[in-house]
Chains A and B, each alone.
Chain A
Amino acid sequence: EDQVTQSPEALRLQEGESSSLNCSYTVSGLRGLFWYRQDPGKGPEFLFTLYSAGEEKEKERLKATLTKKESFLHITAPKPEDSATYLCAVQVDTGRRALTFGSGTRLQVQP
Chain B
Amino acid sequence: DAGVIQSPRHEVTEMGQEVTLRCKPISGHNSLFWYRQTMMRGLELLIYFNNNVPIDDSGMPEDRFSAKMPNASFSTLKIQPSEPRDSAVYFCASNQGAGNQPQHFGDGTRLSIL
Which of the 9-residue segments A17-25, A41-49, A58-66, A75-83 touches chain B?
A41-49
Contact at B43–A101, with CB atoms within 8 Å? yes
> Of residues 25 to 65 in A, which have CB atoms within 8 Å of B's CB atoms?
31-32, 34, 36, 41-46, 49, 51
Residue of B nearest to A98 (CB): B45
Contact at A46–B104, with CB atoms within 8 Å? yes
Q: Assess A101 versus B42: contact at CB under 8 Å? Given A42-B107, A44-B105, A95-B99.
A: yes
Nearest chain A CB to B89's CB is how many angstroms away?
9
Q: What is the total of A-B residue contacts with beta carbons within 8 Å? A: 56
B59 in contact (CB, < 8 A): yes
Q: Is the interface of B mostly helix, strand, loop or mixed?
A: strand
Q: Which B residues are in CB contact (< 8 Å) with A87? A: 43
Nearest chain A CB to B75's CB is how many angstroms away?
15
Residue of A nearest to B33 (CB): A98
Q: Which A residues are in CB contact (< 8 Å) with B108? A: 42-43
Q: Which residues of A contact B (CB under 8 A)?
A: 31-32, 34, 36, 41-46, 49, 51, 87, 89, 91, 95-99, 101-104
Q: Which 3 pairs, one residue from A and one from B, show the smallest C-beta to C-beta distance?
A: A43-B105, A32-B100, A98-B45
